Structure 1
Amino acid sequence: MRDQEKMQGVRIYEYGGPEKMQLEWLDIPEIGEDEALVKVKFASVNFLDIQMRRGDLVKQKFYGKEAGFDNNLPITIGSQCMGVVEAVGENVVHLKPGDRVICGGVGTYATHVISSAKRMIPINIDIPDQQAAAGLTQGFLAYAFTHKAYPIQEGEWCLIQAAAGGLGSLICQMAKLRGGKVIGVTSKEEKAKFVLEAGADIVLISSKENIPERVREITNGEGVRVVYDGVGKDTFDSN
């Protein structure tokens, strides 16, 4: 049996905890003319995958078929991966077999992924496999925050919520690379060291400090130029 005929994937037949996940042998579908087949080397583990497994996304319109999600059980879970292209459809011109790519979509907890080639991005030779696998969604978001939404300038203060998390730590690093001065906020003292390692100048603990008051103290009453908030409503009012 050729590798191209069978693959393994982590499937769920009902929503719930990790015990609902099953590793199975599956047929590899035929490649569409706009698709590519990727042999997965590393599958990213994201909170989105947990939400997928629990069924949290079913009623969210954004996570529908147009976004590449299929909520009809059973499904193979996973939302992004890194791998090597094994075959491409006849309309695919920016990829070829042997290319290293990152891939966003559904079904990445598997040995192989077939997806629209538009969802696959070639990886520069100087980026290690594991870093490429981990950086797709969070890396793009961090770049968009610090370079597009508000391009932090040299010497400007910024506040970063959830700075110990994957997205927050990348925002810290990118803000520092741009010359910004970073106040990182995290919920627990034990997370503070990770925020400092990511480059924050000052770390505030949200469970123990009044964040607006402390920010005014740190910035001599001027406040920060921008708040990068990857959390949302739980932290919006405090900003």
Structure 2
Amino acid sequence: MRAIVIEETGGPEVLRPSEVPDPVPGPGEVLIDIEARGVNFIDIYQRGGLYDVPLPFVPGMEAAGVITAVGEGVEDLSVGQRAGWAMAPGAYADRAVVKAALVVPVPDAVTSEQAAALLLQGMTAHYLTHSVHPVAEGETVLVHAAAGGTGLLLVRLAKELGARVIGTVSSEEKERIAREAGADEIIRYTETPVAEAVRDLTGGEGVAAVYDGVGRDTFDASLASLRPRGVLALFGQSSGPVEPVDPQRLNGAGSVYLTRPSLAHFVADRRELLWRAGDLFSLVGGGRLDPRIGGRYPLAEAGAAQADLASRRTTGKLVLV
């Protein structure tokens, strides 16, 4: 079968197509014929060596397709069933063996592209808005990179919960896309200081939560945008890691909370995993959520997809098909 195999860390050029043996599921595992794969910043971090992974390595942490074989002991998944997963490697291939505990059934109302575009970023948006800071009706939250894959899902889920959403974007086109997703207010961070604009939009109070997947470039503005006892959820670092923080800054900002969460800790329990995925699939099936596909690439062009994502010029979700 085809697979993108990373032999050494580096730039997009290390993503080389190869022919490798078909995998075989062991006890507690399933084999999935992959139809669509999500492209995520974690793939870039692993490829470049920021996140340490054993080499050689088949990247890709999210995909959807059809189960073609099951290992011993697998009881709640079956051959022929449509399924997807997130937070397990091996998606940049024709087939992958995945632990059954990480695999979720995909209903007929959801396409494989939608599932691949939704699971990792969608469950990230879900745990951020339902668990890290459960959004309350009527409160105001700030979403950075609101036209990106995770940003659009954060906007949509926060609106589902009744929030007023302020989003940051870099261009007129991205503003249009974020507003279509439901953002109430938009700040062009290339033109306006973010924290100052947030204070203006909230009558000086600040926001209840900031969902920040950008990191170094936005951290100071995020902290300065919070209301007293607000929550800064720093869930990514697309612009680079944040420098060490003096805890006294949290006091000075109004006894605010800073957390650096990760999806793996919010889907470690299978019941929680199925709850988050099921919520998202129900929204898609009901026509209330449609993950925006910002670009489709052949598997062999994984390097181009990652380069485009890293450029931060894309919108929505990039998928390998």
Regions of 4+ moved over 6 Å? none
Residue 56 of structure 2: aligned partner: 74
Distance 1:220 1:29 in 2: 58
Residue 78 of structure 2: aligned partner: 96
Distance 1:227 1:41 in 2: 34
Aligned 1:32-51 pairs, distance under 5 A: 32-51=26-45
Instruction: Give 1:123's match in structure 2, choosing from 94, 106, 114.
Output: 106
State the TM-score, normalized to the length of structure 2: 0.65
Residue 197 of structure 1: aligned partner: 180
Distance 2:63 2:77 in 1: 16
Residue 68 of structure 1: aligned partner: none
Moved more, 14-23 or 36-45: 14-23
Q: CA deviation at 1:52?
A: 2.3
Bigger Rg over Cα: 1
- What is the percentage of aligned positions where both structures have the same residue? 41
Please tell me whether residue 213 in structure 1 is matched to residue 207 in structure 2.
no
Gaps of 5+ in 2: 223-321
Q: Give SS of 1:238's match.
A: helix
- CA RMSD in angstroms, aligned pairs only: 1.7
Residue 96 of structure 2: aligned partner: 113
Residue 214 of structure 2: aligned partner: 231
Instruction: Give 1:53's match in structure 2, choosing from 27, 47, 54.
Output: 47
Q: Give SS of 1:76's match.
A: coil
Instruction: Give 2:7's match in structure 1, choosing from 8, 13, 21.
Output: 13
Q: Give SS of 1:234's match.
A: coil
Q: Which amino acid letter does the alignment assign opposite residue 5 of structure 2?
A: R
Q: Give SS of 2:207's match.
A: coil
Q: Which amino acid letter does the alignment assign opposite residue 122 of structure 2?
A: G
Distance 2:221 2:15 in 1: 38
The answer to whether the Cα contact below 8 Å between 2:23 and 2:96 also exists between their aligned partners in 1 is: no
Please tell me whether residue 86 in structure 1 is matched to residue 68 in structure 2.
yes
Aligned 1:162-177 pairs, distance under 5 A: 162-177=145-160
Q: Give SS of 2:20's match.
A: strand
Q: Give SS of 2:119's match.
A: helix
Distance 1:211 1:8 in 2: 45
User: Whose relative contact order is higher, 1 or 2, with alpha carbons under 8 Å and at least 6 apart?
Assistant: 2
State the TM-score, normalized to the length of structure 1: 0.86
1:154-208, CA deviations, whole angstroms, 9 ceiling, x for partnerless residues? 2222111121211111110111112211110123444222211221111001222
1:71-102, CA deviations, whole angstroms, 9 ceiling, x for partnerless residues? 33222222211011011111111111011111
Gaps of 5+ in 1: 1-6, 59-70
Q: Give SS of 2:9's match.
A: coil
Distance 1:177 1:72 in 2: 40
